[in-house]
Structure 1
Amino acid sequence: MSSSAPRRTVLAAALAAAAAAATPLPATAAPHRATPPPPTRTTNPVDYHAWTTPTDWHRGTAHGTRVAAGHRPGIRIARPAGTTVYHDPHTGKSATWEYATWTSPVHRLPVPATEAVASWNAHTPPGTWITVELRATYSDGGRTPWYVMGRWTAGDGDADIRRTSVDDQKDGRSAVSTDTLALDDPTTGLRFTAYQLRLTLLCRPGTTATPTVWRLGAMASDVPARFEVPPSTPGLVGHELRVPRYSQEIHKGQYPEYDNGGEAWCSPTSSEMIIEHWGRRPTREQLAWVDPSYADPQVCHAARYTFDYQYKGCGNWPFNAAYAATYRDLQAIVTRLTSLNDVERLVHAGIPVITSQSFLKSELDGAGYGTAGHLMTVIGFTPTGNVIANDPASPNDPAVRRIYQRHQLETIWLRTKRKDANGQVKSGSGGVCYLYFPVESAPSQHRVLRELGIR
């Protein structure tokens, strides 16, 4: 039922023991100074910030890029800044690419953070791709290296690279696991206080094709380490959205090259449900590669085009958001929310929420399974405040709609620590979610998103 085999192990305090064995800082890093104690939390522990407008893009530093106008302004290649050779570890091929870069201004965090996850919305025609990097500033004045948060393209044809995260990125104090940058040991008091993002846009030499990036952002957070969360009081309840129901389980054994088939497709299945909620879906031509005997071929398609060739799974959070944003005028981000009251507000405004959680079978009544990592979609709340979810870990499409006890779901979603069946401490997602919404959203939807720090 997991989004792939064991989920991130660097999250929260899970790598406290690893700090002692980590590699030393590069010689260019700032020297260590005494780190302050963990900050007293007075504001939201989650900060999502994005660059999306012409003004945003003009504030960055461009080398060979230009701002593309239109109802979705973005960054494109104007004149390549140079060429580079990329050896694709997943195809074994090396090729020369032209590139241009855009680097964001420094974003200073309102609350120092222990983790960061970048996400982006982009168009990458065949023969083009992007690299997204993040560099964070430590609370003692040092900086991380430029960490690669993803090498991404929408396609996987012969002209394209293979979408990939990058392993073995660390500096002795922080590390990247798949799509998440985290401090090795948050108990020291060290924090991230600011970050920059850097885009590299690449294309085949001599071509006029270029990637276009419409949205670039990151979620940084300092969610407290906890096994339990305080229950929220039901507020905007008694509302349910009409969202298509798709089961990942009916795809068992289909296309095992993409994370062992449907058994691990909870993330792309959830993504596809919300993409279709907003009236988008793959075309008949896009689905022509799928075996015509398979039901819900669009789920197979979503699995293929969210697959991370390094992670060897379809559960890369930003890759799912980036896939959703390939559909017409659809925006997508990865962030954290702080309670089910936030979800109530979004659902009440018409925006479903894809949540990430892990739990034992005994911790979620009615699920009938346990999982080390699973995505499902919250589509409503009963009049008493319990959660109505489209859970793809269901035997068939009609069975996807479930009702889960409010505090049970809230706990397994928001906690950062849990115990597995052997009693060992593992990490939890700490409230991670995907939010997909149209560019032309209703004013009430824009207002709720803005109130939650999302624009």
Structure 2
Amino acid sequence: MISRPAKRRTVLAAALATAAGAATPAAARTDQGAAGRGRGRPGRPRKDDLIDHHDWSCLSDWKGGTHEGTRAGGDRPGITLAKPAGTVAYTDPHTGTEATWEYARWTSPRHEPTVPASEVIASWNADTPAGTWLRIELRGTYTGGGDTPWYTLGVWTAGDGDDVPRRTSVPDQGDGKSSVYTDTFAIDDLDAGPRLASYRLRVTLHRAPGGDATPTVWRLGAMASDLPDRFEVPATEPGPAAGVELDVPRYSQNVHEGQYPEYDGGGEAWCSPTSSQMIIEHWGRKPTPEDLSWVNPDYADPQVCHAARYTFDYDYEGCGNWPFNAAYAATYDDMQAVVTRLASLADAERLIAAGIPLITSQSFVEEELDGAGYGTAGHLMTVVGFTAEGDVVANDPASPDNPSVRHVYKRRQWENIWLRTKRKDADGKVLSGTGGVCYLYFPRETTAAQKKVLASLGIG
């Protein structure tokens, strides 16, 4: 079973994996990333960490950078479109609609990761009222000199009506040294190529000409990493979350098999939005009855259908775009969300001990994870706790019904399939591993313990 459609990434991953001497970029995966850097840290990230998460989210952050028609402020600090910097034409590649939009733009200061990066995954939290949308871009500087183009990492809106372009990633972006694969920037040749010494993020806010609506961007950030190739990661011992299990709703993706083919048809294609919905509801948020009025009343768990629709990437033709899932979660009242990587299972334990569940991305053949009953080239599930012995308690949406969603997976097996950068499929072909990629969703108001563990992962 494959819980995220293979599509073009599988072909790319296979080609890179078989290239002589080439390492497979984690971005060129069906649903996955690369692997971790060791034990979890008690404080802020070290200067030699191989994973660097950096956000702009407070008022002083937004007052910095370069403003072109944007304004920083608000009770929840963010940037808005204060005065259009100009107009821009955009033709929606999915509908053919041509329109002119007013825009304003904010560009971050240059950020240098803790080590030069081979991959970058951005994420953002924003509000886009009717008739407004965002473009998120990245431009990096290589270690050997020279800059990347301005790469588009997403054309995003919370809505999907005729008043806005379709939510989409942008294909076929590259300069011969680096490329963008749906939601991830990656260096093309990890052996010979340069790394990314620094980067800037840019967000462009759009609205219809003459209007007064404005998007608001509350958080913009990225995870940059340069992780080693390895089929196996060091084993860890149970930590502070042993015996802790959080109360997280259980939803099965498989009960939606065949529903809404325009949003990739439910079932194995909906692991990401199903996992997202579980965690959103853990924090007490959910769609309103009005939000769900479009869903067939005969369908169970209509909120999962809703999550699939509003995370759908019209270029990828699926619901598994990582930043789009995080952005969807952050549309709920006072919710925040990031996409990042964790170094080890110890980091996950510290999150659970502080009361923060996580959504993890992994790939494996059936024999590698006892009790799963399937193999996958890419699958999202939620980690909700640990047994007293330190095994992983996961709400796995790849289950036949909601009551059977809770699983206990062996600690050693689970940490390896999540954190490794290389793996072999059932035919023995070498492919990329998952590398500790996860979504973290949490409310704006957090406890002291939650703030501490998030800060230790670079999330402010």
Q: Would you call these one fold, judging by a TM-score over 0.5?
A: yes
Structure 1 counterpart of 2:169: 165
2:236 equivalent to 1:235? no
Structure 1 counterpart of 2:192: 188
Deviation at 1:279, TM superposition (A): 0.2
| Aligned with 2:353 (options 333, 341, 348) | 348
| Aligned with 2:160 (options 156, 163, 179) | 156
Deviation at 1:5, TM superposition (A): 2.3
Structure 2 counterpart of 1:357: 362
Structure 2 counterpart of 1:33: none
TM-score by length of 1: 0.93
Structure 2 counterpart of 1:379: 384
Q: Distance in 1 between matches of 2:323 and 2:73?
A: 23
Conservation of the 8 A alpha-carbon contact between 1:114 and 1:186: yes
1:257 is paired with a residue of what secondary structure?
Answer: helix
Once the two structures are superposed, residues 236-258 of structure 1 have per-residue CA deviations (whole angstroms, 9 ceiling, x without a partner) of 11100000000000000110111
2:16 equivalent to 1:14? yes
| Aligned with 1:390 (options 395, 400, 406) | 395
Q: Distance in 2 between matches of 1:144 and 1:424?
A: 32
| Aligned with 2:206 (options 202, 209, 231) | 202
Query: Which segments of 5 or more consecutive residues in structure 2 lack a partner in the other structure?
Result: 23-45
Aligned residue identity for 2:84: P
**Runs of 4 or more consecutive aligned structure 1 residues displaced over 6 Å after TM superposition:** 10-13
User: What is the root-mean-square deviation in Å for CA atoms of aligned residues?
Assistant: 1.8
2:406 equivalent to 1:405? no
Aligned residue identity for 2:65: G
Deviation at 1:16, TM superposition (A): 8.2
2:114 is paired with a residue of what secondary structure?
Answer: strand
Aligned residue identity for 2:358: V
Closer/same/farther in 2, CA of residues 221 and 340 from structure 1, 3 Å limit: same
Q: Percent identity, please.
A: 67
Structure 2 counterpart of 1:136: 140
2:359 is paired with a residue of what secondary structure?
Answer: strand
Once the two structures are superposed, residues 72-108 of structure 1 have per-residue CA deviations (whole angstroms, 9 ceiling, x without a partner) of 1101000000111100011111011000100000001
Structure 2 counterpart of 1:127: 131
1:264 is paired with a residue of what secondary structure?
Answer: helix
Once the two structures are superposed, residues 140-193 of structure 1 have per-residue CA deviations (whole angstroms, 9 ceiling, x without a partner) of 012111100000000001111100000000000110000000011111262111
Residues matched between the structures, number:
434
Deviation at 1:42, TM superposition (A): 7.4
Structure 2 counterpart of 1:337: 342
Structure 2 counterpart of 1:77: 81
Deviation at 1:15, TM superposition (A): 6.6
Conservation of the 8 A alpha-carbon contact between 1:19 and 1:185: no
Aligned residue identity for 1:370: G
2:113 is paired with a residue of what secondary structure?
Answer: strand
Q: Distance in 1 between matches of 2:300 and 2:157?
A: 27
Structure 2 counterpart of 1:211: 215
**Aligned ranges 1:160-309 → 2 under 5 Å:** 160-188=164-192, 190-236=194-240, 237-309=242-314
Conservation of the 8 A alpha-carbon contact between 1:46 and 1:222: yes
Q: Distance in 2 between matches of 1:375 and 1:57?
A: 32
Conservation of the 8 A alpha-carbon contact between 2:177 and 2:193: no
Structure 2 counterpart of 1:321: 326
TM-score by length of 2: 0.92
Deviation at 1:11, TM superposition (A): 7.2
Aligned residue identity for 2:441: Y
Conservation of the 8 A alpha-carbon contact between 1:12 and 1:225: no
Q: Distance in 2 between matches of 1:290 and 1:417?
A: 40
Query: Which segments of 5 or more consecutive residues in structure 1 lack a partner in the other structure?
Result: 21-40
Q: Distance in 2 between matches of 1:171 and 1:19?
A: 21
Aligned residue identity for 1:115: E
2:109 equivalent to 1:105? yes
Q: Distance in 1 between matches of 2:21 and 2:209?
A: 43
Q: Distance in 1 between matches of 2:21 and 2:78?
A: 39
Conservation of the 8 A alpha-carbon contact between 1:247 and 1:393: yes
Aligned residue identity for 2:154: G
Closer/same/farther in 2, CA of residues 315 and 120 from structure 1, 3 Å limit: same
